[in-house]
């Protein structure tokens, strides 16, 4: 699992049938301080996240697991919205 920041959403007029009805969001991976790491990517949203929210995601084959009936061909899925990050400073 890893952290990310939702930047916005994506609308597709044509997509794989397994992706029908799924909300797709533009996300950038972030570190524990909220600093961006790498390039933005598209993630399937399983919980109703929105722009500007910090989220946690899973990747790889496990990214399809939150979507029990569909099993979309995705390598990133949003699993939760982060309210607070606490750590040693």
Does the pLDDT value for residue 48 go beyond 70? yes
Does the pLDDT value for residue 10 go beyond 60? yes
Mean of the pLDDT values across residues 55-64? 74
d(CA 73, CA 16): 8
Please give the residue that has the higher pLDDT: either 14 or 66: 14
Instruction: Report yes or no on 89 lying in a domain.
Output: no
Residue range of the domain that includes 72: 2-81
Does the pLDDT value for residue 85 go beyond 90? no
Please give the residue that has the higher pLDDT: either 63 or 56: 56
DSSP states along 40-74: -EEEEESS---TT-EEEEEEGGGGGTT-TTT--S-
Domains of the chain: total: 1
Instruction: Report yes or no on 87 lying in a domain.
Output: no
pLDDT for the residue numbered 55: 96
Mean pLDDT of the chain: 85
Instruction: Report yes or no on 88 lying in a domain.
Output: no
């Amino acid at each position: 699992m890893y952290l990310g920041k939702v930047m916005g959403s994506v609308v597709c007029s044509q997509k794989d049938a397994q992706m029908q009805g799924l909300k797709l969001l533009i996300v950038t991976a972030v570190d524990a301080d909220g600093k961006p790491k790498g390039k933005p990517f598209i993630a399937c949203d399983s919980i109703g996240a929105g722009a500007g929210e910090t989220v946690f995601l899973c990747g790889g084959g496990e990214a399809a697991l939150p979507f029990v009936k569909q099993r979309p061909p995705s390598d990133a899925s949003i699993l939760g919205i982060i309210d607070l990050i606490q750590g040693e400073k």
